[in-house]
Amino acid sequence: MREILSVPGDRVGKARRISAAIRETGGYRWVGIYAEETRLLAWSGPGEPRDARSNIVVPIPTSTAGQLRVESDLPDAFGAEDRRRLEECAALLGPLWG
């Protein structure tokens, strides 16, 4: 993620690459980065958001309303370790708002 953020480019393009990297690395069904609670900035994965069997939403600490939303086709797919890793990812997304 740090490498993607360090390369010159537009915010949406970086967000798309980051969401794809999180999805592939975690084996998730769908990953979205929201600029605001209801405004999707970028995503990676098939289908529409919110049609998976479980999801986790992590706030992006350096933004006022940014969120990282991750979905899985498995029920109860997210545990404490997933939350910790995704919170680390969300903390790195600050430059998209800066």
Which ranges in 36-77 belong to alpha helices (H)?
none
Length of the chain: 98
* pLDDT score of 48: 65
* pLDDT score of 21: 96
Question: What domains, with CATH codes, occur in the chain?
Answer: 2-96 (3.30.450.40)
Half-sphere exposure of 49 (CA within 13 A, CB side): 17
pLDDT value at 23 more than 70: yes
Across 49-73, average pLDDT = 88
pLDDT in tens, 31-43: 999 998 788 899 9
Residue 81 identity: E
How far, in Å, CA of 53 to CA of 71, rounded? 8
How far, in Å, CA of 97 to CA of 50, rounded? 24
41 CA to centre of own chain = 10
User: Per the confidence metrics, is the pTM higher than 0.85?
Assistant: yes
